[in-house]
Amino acid sequence: MEKRGKVAVTVVEDVFVTLAKGERKALGMPSFPLVVVPHHNSADAVRDQVRNEVAEALPKILEALTQSTIGEAAADSFAPA
């Protein structure tokens, strides 16, 4: 999407961060922003816990979408604290 001039961000579960970083580099977009969210086994996920994590990730998603340009280091700064 970014290559087509559309603002985008990838939301990735923490267990897939290494893969996501490799893919963005292989695709020639090393500064493409990633927002990292916790991985849940769907059987164990508690609705309120997931809702809280989404509420925590949403501002990071919006920040990544509204920054005009970011460097590679900043592209990884959207992981939950």
| 15 within some domain | yes
| 68 within some domain | yes
- More reliable by pLDDT, 50 or 14: 14
Q: Give residue 19's domain range.
A: 2-75
| 18 within some domain | yes
| pTM tops 0.75, yes or no | no
Contacts (Cβ under 8 Å, ≥6 apart) of 38: 13, 14, 53, 80
- More reliable by pLDDT, 40 or 28: 28
β-pair partners for 35: 11
Please check the confidence at residue 81 and state whether its pLDDT lies above 50. Answer: no
Counting the structural domains of the chain, the total is 1
| 80 within some domain | no
* pLDDT (mean) for 18-24: 94
